[in-house]
Amino acid sequence: MDAIVVEGGHPLTGQVRVGGAKNSALKLMAAALLAPGVTTLRNVPDISDVAVMAEVLERLGAHVVRTDHTLTIDATELTSHEAPYDLVVRMRASTCVLGALVGRLGRAHVAMPGGCNIGSRKIDIHVAALEQIGIEISTEHGYIDAEGAAHGAHVMLDFPSVGATENLLMASVLGDGETIIENAAREPEIGDLVAMLVGMGADIAGAGSPTITVTGVGTLHPVDHTVVGDRIEAGTYLIAGALDSGPVTVTGFDPDHLDIVLQKLERAGCVVSRFADGVTISRTGPIHALDIQTLPYPGFPTDLQAPFMALLALADGGSVVTENVFENRFIFADEIARMGADIRIDGHYALVRGVAALSGAPVRSPDLRGGAALVLAGLVAEGRTVVTDIHHIDRGYEGFVDKLRGLGAIVSRVDVTDPETA
């Protein structure tokens, strides 16, 4: 069992480069299924979720080859339309092959994702949207069966779901007629997917706005595409720099994609300098308490809620954190409380009363972002913090320990069976 061991109190400074966005790369890999031939994806992070998605594509008959950060996906012939439970249960995002399989083959048999550590994560919005564009859906024995060809429709999503927007895009791009998606998700990863699909020959307008219009085309061709920089990985290192005093420079992403986070970091007392593909952060005074509420993009990203809560745990007053996207994303608060944080949870609100210091402790990574946030807390805690269940962190952060070491952190990955004795 691997754990991350952090010795707190060592200053962070220097430069770190983020990779391609996990939440884009996974969907772009699915999108490659839409075109026969060999698609090349560059800037693909080397993380376990990408490895699972590669397995999904292989089961469908595609051939995936990784060379460093480049993937080639040969989707010349697909031999299956099934995303089986054993893979979907390992990574919920594999359900994004639903739209791509419907688009390419006119049918899909995809395991229902079920819940996960951050909430129940239903799929009803995906299903309703696909039905409106003419796909027949039935659910039986834990699987979604989808069949048919998209005929275009005016679809209003109940919520700007990232996954539903992506499935709808991929299911409609090769269909007939015009599909108008209202209340579409506006995340930069949607923009990246649309950019790739347009590169493949799709006709899509309005990405980045709440209304996306897809005009079906007959065929798509393979493409060579570079994955957008990971704004969430970048935000994680910037919050690390804010917790410590920095300066820390994070490159490889578009600062506009983190606009509200950077504004909140400034209000918390940090000095933030933006440049073309990155940001430098530093802090000399105290961390100021402030409120955040997570919302779909361009609101504050739920994926940075836990790291930001670690920062507010050391602020000069009380902060209210409101989680509006996932119902179960506060488990991290119970773990950081073991390090001395003072956090009260009431439904989807967390009241964070800043404390003077955190103390290192054995803690368990509850999920991907919560795990990373516990490591950040450990960087500024007194003494040693041992974070277990770090397979969650491996899902989304390439070389997390090495990148933090590059900034001067005393952190290592060890094989432990008993975190108390690590």
CB closer to ligand EPU, 125 vs 279:
125
CB closer to ligand EPU, 244 vs 394:
394
| 302 lies in the site for ligand EPU, by CB under 6 A | yes
| 164 lies in the site for ligand EPU, by CB under 6 A | yes
Q: Based on the residue annotation, tell me whether 395 is a catalytic residue of this protein.
A: yes
**143, 253, 300, 326: which one binds ligand EPU (CB under 6 A):** 326
Which member of 59, 90, 107, 121 is catalytic?
121
Query: Are 168 and 127 contacting, i.e. CB atoms less than 8 angstroms apart?
Result: no
| 159 lies in the site for ligand EPU, by CB under 6 A | yes
| 161 lies in the site for ligand EPU, by CB under 6 A | yes
User: Would you say the C-alpha torsion 82, 86, 89, 93 has a positive or negative sign?
Assistant: negative
**225, 257, 369, 392: which one binds ligand EPU (CB under 6 A):** 369
**In the stretch 115-144, what mask flags binding to ligand EPU with x, by CB under 6 A?**
----xxxxxxxx------------------
Structure tokens at 168: 């709808």
Q: Which residues inside 386-405 make contact with ligand EPU, applying CB under 6 A?
A: 396
Whole-number Å distance between alpha carbons of 321 and 315 = 13
Helix, strand, coil % over all residues of the chain, rounded to 5: 35, 30, 40
Backbone angles phi, psi at 411, to 5 degrees: -145, 140
Query: Are 97 and 56 contacting, i.e. CB atoms less than 8 angstroms apart?
Result: yes
**32, 57, 137, 162: which one binds ligand EPU (CB under 6 A):** 162
| 362 lies in the site for ligand EPU, by CB under 6 A | no
| 93 lies in the site for ligand EPU, by CB under 6 A | yes
Query: Are 225 and 40 contacting, i.e. CB atoms less than 8 angstroms apart?
Result: yes
Beta carbon of residue 75, minimum distance to ligand EPU (angstroms, whole number): 20
Q: Based on the residue annotation, tell me whether 116 is a catalytic residue of this protein.
A: yes
What separation in angstroms does the CA of 409 have from each of 146, 244, 265, 375?
49, 10, 21, 11
Pairing relationship of beta strands 362-364 and 384-388 according to DSSP bridges: parallel
What separation in angstroms does the CA of 110 have from each of 142, 362, 385?
9, 38, 40
**In the stretch 23-52, what mask flags binding to ligand EPU with x, by CB under 6 A?**
x--x--------------------------
Whole-number Å distance between alpha carbons of 341 and 352 = 8
Active site residues: 22-23, 116, 121, 303, 395
By CB under 6 A, name the binding residues for ligand EPU.
22-23, 26, 93, 119-126, 159, 161-164, 187, 302-303, 325-326, 368-369, 396
